[in-house]
């Protein structure tokens, strides 16, 4: 069986994942992420399969990065986090995507990257539940992000 890219596969199944789709931009799709302790956490996936930003054509790259900034702005408008963290790693899945993690004022690990808590959650079910927990229902988080994106006139594909 041919190996497929998990993010290409996800983009091909948007209709099955409608509850988690926050916005469809021209160059990327925003999904609500699993760790909603970080209220508004999204993963923004490039529509084109590409491993590094510098390998995208310049116009497509500029558009993709501006979509990332628009989504960050919307998260900021909707939830007023203390700080936004944006990261493009791709160590496990080398298909361009951004993790946008809004940081909470009351996070005891606020000075650290989120990965330390997420790593603990791999071994500790209590930590996993804490980071999955939401202060708002997930559909309400999606709706608030949607409203903020409309307010910003975010481009819609």
Among 60, 84, 136, 143, binds a copy of itself (CB under 8 A): 84
Among 21, 65, 136, 143, binds a copy of itself (CB under 8 A): 65
Count other C-beta atoms under 10 Å from residue 131's C-beta. Answer: 19
Task: Give whichever of 21 and 63 is closer to a copy of itself, judged by the CB atom.
Answer: 63
Show the site string, 114-133: x = touches a copy of itself by CB under 8 A, - = not.
-xx--x--------------
62 belongs to the binding site for a copy of itself (CB under 8 A): yes
Cα separation of 19 and 57, whole Å? 31
Residue 35: partners with Cβ closer than 8 Å, 6 or more residues away: 41, 101, 114, 118, 121, 131, 132
Task: Give whichever of 119 and 124 is closer to a copy of itself, judged by the CB atom.
Answer: 119
Calculate ∠ Cα 37-129-138, nearest 5°.
50
Instruction: Give me the least distance between CB of 15 and a copy of itself, in Å please.
Output: 30
Cα separation of 153 and 51, whole Å? 29
5 belongs to the binding site for a copy of itself (CB under 8 A): no
Cα separation of 77 and 71, whole Å? 10
Give residues in contact with a copy of itself (CB under 8 A).
Answer: 51-54, 58, 61-62, 65-66, 68-70, 72-73, 76, 83-92, 94, 103, 110-113, 115-116, 119
């Amino acid at each position: 069986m041919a190996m497929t890219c998990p993010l290409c596969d996800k983009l091909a199944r948007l209709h099955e994942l409608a509850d988690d789709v926050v916005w469809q931009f021209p160059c990327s799709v925003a999904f609500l992420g699993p760790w909603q302790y970080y209220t508004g956490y999204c993963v923004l996936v490039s529509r084109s399969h590409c491993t590094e930003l510098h390998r995208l054509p310049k116009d497509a790259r500029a558009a993709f990065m501006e979509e990332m900034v628009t989504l960050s702005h919307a998260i900021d408008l909707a939830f007023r986090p203390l700080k936004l963290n944006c990261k493009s790693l791709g160590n496990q899945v080398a298909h361009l995507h951004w993790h946008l993690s809004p940081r909470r004022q009351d996070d005891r690990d606020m000075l650290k990257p989120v990965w330390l808590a997420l790593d603990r959650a791999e071994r500790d079910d209590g930590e996993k539940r804490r980071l999955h927990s939401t202060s708002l229902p997930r559909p309400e988080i999606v709706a608030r992000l949607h409203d903020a994106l409309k307010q910003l006139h975010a481009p819609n594909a």
